[in-house]
Amino acid sequence: MKKIFLYATALLLSSVAFTSCNDDKDELTDSRLTNYVVLEVQGDDFVAWPLGTEYVDEGCKATLAGEDASSRLIVDGEVDSNEVGFYQITYSAVNDDGFPISATRTVCVYDPNSTVDISGQYDVDMNASIYLNNGKTYADRAAYYGNTTQCTGITFEQFLPGIFYCSDLFGGWYAQIRGYGAGYAMTAYVSVDDEGNVELLDSYTPSWGDSLDYIEDSTYDFDTKTINITLSYAGQIFMNPVMKWVAPLEE
């Protein structure tokens, strides 16, 4: 999930029902036209919002067969403008025949005053990184599976001030050590504050279609340019990847 963009969709569908009758002939017995509510998100689908500024949503316009349908509109979700993170505002409505439709806006609250920059390419410290389920290091497990001796090329890229996109928060565990390929990397957005505290904002692994349970006690050392993550995945897998900066991002 390199970028977050969600789209509102307006649909008009015709539904025709057919039944069978005598003499082995099909006859049209019922037909109807249903109009879906049309939702138009006002403003952008993705909004970057400065920390500490009260969030004011631009709303969503709802129409049905060209007429105002704002009374049908349901808005769900809130934005805490005092907390860095991703928030979703969902707009939904149902037409006369019970068919629903929805649209979503994503709001990212960020600190515009943040000067933290951890962008770059990272290699995994194979001897410091631990697969916590059995206490073995990444180096031990790599030797066991025989797929790789070093996890490399993990990237952190600034998305907004203080917020970074990571190409694999697993530190190459599945994509490289297990040899499953890039689709099994845990892409993620994290925030890093001035004290080096790392917080998970969002995560996603494409091939499995799910995300991390959480990260905790995770830090960035500005002196050594090392990020230390403790994570939980699928309710039963725990890892502690340690990644060290090796180079700036390639242009």
Q: Is the pLDDT of residue 59 over 50?
A: yes
Contact between residue 248 and residue 157 where contact means Cβ atoms under 8 Å apart: no
Which of the two residues, 30 and 204, has the higher pLDDT score? 204
Residues composing the chain: 251
**What is the number of other CB atoms lying within 10 angstroms of the CB of residue 138?**
27
Q: Is the pLDDT of residue 49 over 80?
A: yes
Taking all residues of the chain, what is their mean pLDDT, rounded to a whole number? Answer: 89
- Pairing mode, strands 187-192 and 212-221: unpaired
* pLDDT over 70, % of the chain: 87
pLDDT reported for residue 18: 29
The predicted model scores a pTM of: 0.84
pLDDT reported for residue 31: 59
For 79-105, what is each residue's pLDDT tens digit? 999 999 999 999 999 999 999 999 999
What DSSP letter does each residue of the chain carry, written as one string? --S--------EEEEEEEEE-STT-EEEEEEEEEEPPEEEESS-SEEEEETTS------EEEEETTEE-GGG-EEE----TTS-EEEEEEEEEE-TTS-EEEEEEEEEEE-TT------EEEEE-TTT-EETTTTEEHHHHHHHHTS-S----EEEEEEETTEEEES-TTTTIIIIIS---GGGS-EEEEEE-TT-BEEEEEEEBTTTTB-EEEEEEEEEETTTTEEEEEEEETTTEEEE-EEEEEEPPP-
- Dist CA 219 CA 197 (whole Å): 5
For 103-126, what is each residue's pLDDT tens digit? 999 999 999 999 999 999 999 999
pLDDT reported for residue 250: 84
Q: Is the pLDDT of residue 19 over 90?
A: no
pLDDT band at 30 (very low <50, low <70, confident <90, very high): low
- Dist CA 40 CA 43 (whole Å): 9
pLDDT band at 8 (very low <50, low <70, confident <90, very high): very low
Contact between residue 189 and residue 159 where contact means Cβ atoms under 8 Å apart: yes
For 193-247, what is each residue's pLDDT tens digit? 999 999 999 999 999 999 999 999 999 999 999 999 999 999 999 999 999 999 9
Residue from 102, 42, 52, 49 nearest 74 by CA: 102
pLDDT reported for residue 169: 98
* pLDDT over 90, % of the chain: 82
Q: Is the pLDDT of residue 20 over 50?
A: no
- Pairing mode, strands 163-166 and 154-160: antiparallel
For 139-152, what is each residue's pLDDT tens digit? 999 999 888 889 99
The burial of 241, by beta-carbon neighbours within 10 Å (0-12 exposed, 13-18 middle, 19 or more buried), is given as buried
Taking the CA atoms of 53, 118, 158 and 3 in sequence, report the sign of the dihedral they define.
negative
Q: Is the pLDDT of residue 2 over 70?
A: no
The angle formed by the CA atoms of residues 85, 89 and 93, to the nearest 5 degrees, is 165
Please give the domain boundaries of the chain with CATH numbers for all domains: 12-110 (2.60.40.10), 120-247 (2.40.128)
Give 1-49 as a 3 state SS string: CCCCCCCCCCCEEEEEEEEECCCCCEEEEEEEEEECCEEEECCCCEEEE
